[in-house]
Chains A and B, each alone.
Chain A
Amino acid sequence: MRHVMSVLVQNKPGVLSRVTGLVSRRGFNIDSLSVAPTEDPTKSRITAVVEAEDVAYEQITKQLNKLVCVHKITDLTEDEAIERELVLFRVAVEPERRSEVIEIANVFRAKIVDVGHKSLTIEATGTQSKLAGLEELLKPYNLAEITRTGVTAITRSAK
């Protein structure tokens, strides 16, 4: 099962390798990873997407919780969380078909952030499934390069 794991850690050198090293050492692959400081500059948040059965996932979180540098772990896989990723697509589309690409981008509320002679670059944010949809539609226009930030997530506000 896919888990979005949000790990609040000390903002100190070495912390990222401690966390990711532990996850891989216990035999799990990290599908995506994003890290940055939080509103409190002494803390960072690591958002990792891992594939693991529930029992194994529980074991990883218990092991991570033991790390002195880990404040808190939240599972943001559930519906109560908002998940986003940012993707940059470089589309090497010939000038005559550019407008089609721009139209697709608009439908997905994506932005054209760079235009060159031979390609244009689209910035899109959204859930992984929305972005996968966009990627599918851009494929016929010669997708030259894709780069993703990895998923980040936050709990929904209480209603």
Chain B
Amino acid sequence: MTGAQAVIASLQAAGVEYVFGYPGGQAVKLFDALFESDITFILSRHEQAAVHEADGYARVTGKPGVVLVTSGPGATNTVTGIATAYMDSVPLVVITAQVPTTVIGTDSFQEADIFGVTLPVVKHSYLLREARELPETFAEAFHVASTGRPGPVLIDVPSDVAGQELEFTWPETVNIPSYKPTVKGNAKQVRKAAALIGEARKPLVIAGGGVVSANASEALAALVDTMQIPVVCTLMGKTALPSAHPLNLGHVGMHGSKYANEAIAQCDLLICVGTHLSDRVTGRIAHFAERARVIHIDIDPAEIGKVLPADVPIVGDVAGVLADIVEALSAQKAQPQSKDWLAELAEWKERWPFYSTAVEEGRTGIIPEDVVMELSRQLAGTRSIVTTEVGQHQMWAAQFMERETPRSFITSGGLGTMGFGFPAALGASLANPDDQVVCIAGDGSLQMNIQEMATALEAGANVKVLLMNNSALGMVHQWQTLFNNKRFMATEFSANPDFVALAAAYGWQAARVEDPSSVAAAIETMLAAEGCYLLDVVIPRDANVYPMVPPGGATADAVGAIDLAVGAVRLGLERHEVRQVGEVNEEGEGGL
């Protein structure tokens, strides 16, 4: 068979159902080979979106998402998508066509050194030189993408290689001597961890995306249930434990609750599981978990000790390590000692609620938090996946969307890519066609990949877009409100499209809601609709996400938390609104 046919045969051998992408000159042989296969090809309207679609598919299934694009501009358009997947450790196999090997390096038409361009944002990459390398390369690519700490792998396929003949045999096993991720946690370290946990009075787990990607939720629940350890979740770890789990304190970090951040400040043992402790989580690191000893569990040794020294580092698959710790605890006959700690946390939760209708009194228009909570209520108990774009709406979703199952909350955490959430919803919906898939979007982000409305319709996907429309780049607007004396530079849209008409032009159903009392019914109509539906929810431009840890500040510096002990007010806002530009980034931390 030809190289092109071998590419498709490899995808089939790897069990690929969907390929997302866009054709072009150097890719015609590859696309021709797709013609006969039973793989479904999803034709996006932009290569960046194709990668996000594959990424959404990968995040909900745990299987590598696959992308196929042409050389040059097709390949360079994938870069943001690949970087997004890299930062969030999502398995992808991205196949880029390349100019023939005979002209590589000559600036030939539509030649781009995509191998070189993507080096910093791939887990691994290949430039094929001969067709006979092809089966092994593809088998390796799928193996590397999905094992260890998952990530995107790129394969650049010159068009002459796609034309060469080869004998195709799919390798039964993959053996890369230089790539052997450590899976099993060190037994001695596991016992040490168990000893620390057994002693702790104020233990706390911080769960990151690694818990979700390692399918370790049950193992985590087993540990925290037996030892009665409360849990805070990073943005990527949001579905590590069901939101309603009694030990789950929810969202932590820059827009986390005061009680979750305070729990980190006060705990005597912090168990970091599958998290790289982003600056968005820690705030000023010198003040992070100051009183705590630290256990850090991760499949990636480089994450341990990177920002926070660990007393007990454990490298390994987090599900296995957590199970080993539970076993060691039972061998030690450890008993939970967190009763007082849990009581204290419960008090904090009462005192510093994330939200209180009393505080919102007097606000006009639709309150964004209410919209998210309403959606959350209506999705409760159903099989659903929520994706988000990036900005304020994303943070409200992180704060108020209740989720029950792992992989049911999809968001760009590490790179914070506007334009990710909508195509990701499309990929998620194709993977799980029976789930209700809702993208919570901002009007800025949605317009970064809005053309995918056509893709969604063509693919027969069933995607809902809940547009939190503030006619602004709300999150940046918020920073300007708080730190730049309301000098709104380049954050207010004066010529947004009529999103309902636009959606209709794409063949979508759509409606707009401006009246707070109509929100619930409007969401109900959206969720009940067959097929794609956009709900344009008009919200005020000046709504801010609170609490907020100022960039570069310690979590204790957060402003805008509600303190019912003081009255129904948000703390620290007066003080904060006078801060000037420049004070914020003293340490070079922060940034949007």
Tell me the A residues contacting B by CB distance below 8 Å. Answer: 9-10, 13-14, 17-18, 21-22, 25, 55, 58-59, 62-63, 65-71
Contact = CB atoms under 8 A, between A and B. Distances in A.
B381 to A, nearest CB: 41
Contact of A69 (B115, B178, B301): B178
A71 B179 CA distance: 7
B127 interface: yes
Contact of B178 (A9, A21, A25, A63): A9
Given A18-B119, A71-B178, A13 B300 contact: no
Contacts of B125: 14
B187 to A, nearest CB: 22
A73 to B, nearest CB: 11
A48 B398 CA distance: 44
The 9 A-B pairs at the shortest CB distance, nearest first, are namely A62-B302, A71-B178, A68-B124, A68-B179, A63-B302, A62-B301, A21-B119, A68-B144, A25-B120
B176 interface: yes
Interface of B: 115-116, 119-120, 123-125, 127, 129, 144, 149, 176-179, 300-302, 305-306
B127 A10 contact: no
Contacts of A71: 177-178
Contacts of A68: 123-124, 144, 176, 178-179
Contacts of B306: 59
Nearest to B315: A62
Contacts of A21: 119-120
B157 to A, nearest CB: 15
B119 A66 contact: no
Specify the main secondary structure of chain A where it touches its partner.
helix
A13 B120 contact: no
Nearest to A43: B178
Contacts of B301: 62, 65-66
Contacts of B302: 59, 62-63, 65-66
Q: In the complex, which of the residues B123, B129, B300, B301 has the most CB atoms of chain A within 10 Å of its own CB atom?
A: B301
Contacts of B179: 68
Contacts of A18: 119
Contact of B300 (A58, A66, A67, A69): A66
A63 B127 CA distance: 22
Contact of A14 (B115, B120, B149, B305): B115
A26 to B, nearest CB: 10
Nearest to A72: B178
A13 B119 contact: no
Contact of A13 (B127, B176, B305): B127
A42 to B, nearest CB: 9
Nearest to A69: B178
A49 B149 CA distance: 29
Contacts of A55: 305
A62 B305 CA distance: 11
A102 B125 CA distance: 51
Contacts of A22: 120
Contacts of A9: 178
Given A9-B178, A68-B178, A68-B179, A14 B300 contact: no
A10 B115 contact: no
B300 A10 contact: no
Nearest to B153: A68
Nearest to A25: B120
Contacts of B119: 14, 17-18, 21
Contacts of A67: 124
A49 to B, nearest CB: 22
B300 A70 contact: no
A63 to B, nearest CB: 5
Contacts of B177: 71
B517 to A, nearest CB: 53
Contacts of B178: 9-10, 68-71
A84 B120 CA distance: 32
Nearest to B123: A68
B294 to A, nearest CB: 15
Contacts of A65: 301-302
